[in-house]
Amino acid sequence: MKGFQNVKVVNMIAGEDLRGDVYELLHVENDGDVGKVIKTTAVTNSPIGVLAEEPRTDVTTDGLAVPVAVIGAGGIGLMKAGASVTAGQLIVPDTTAGRVAGVTGVGALAVDSMAVGIALESAADGDIFPVLFMTVAAPHSA
């Protein structure tokens, strides 16, 4: 299974150079009162989507519009593994920028984190694999 199915793609302004980062997980940062997308770097980031296609390669994408497949809209998308993932696991941000990892269930989610979907195929580090987009929130700290 390859490609995106029933996914909403929107253009958002990049807050960093995203060339070569297609299918990597993004979240929004505040940059001078403007929300810009950058790669996730921690399980406690709040991901909003993945870079849906390779942007222009001749110039930096920092400050330019890039296509983002929105997780909260559902559908099936592609993501890049940062660790080994097993089909059926919940998908969470990995510590490798933009990559994802799998956890066994809601009880395995870190406090103040969220899963972004369910792996539909197993994957090794660096593999691109299909994910059913859905958000699952973990318990929150006080």
Examine the pLDDT at 53 and tell me if it is beyond 90: yes
Q: Report residue 50's pLDDT band, with 50, 70 and 90 as the boundaries.
A: very high
DSSP string, 36-51: EEEE--STTS-EEEEE
**Is the pTM of the predicted complex or chain greater than 0.75?**
yes
pLDDT at 109: 86
Can you tell me the mean pLDDT for 4-10? 94
What would the mean pLDDT of 86-97 be, rounded to a whole number? Answer: 96
pLDDT digit string, tens, across residues 64-82: 999 999 998 899 999 999 9
C-beta separation of 21 from 39 below 8 A = yes
Quick check: helix, strand or coil at residue 108? helix
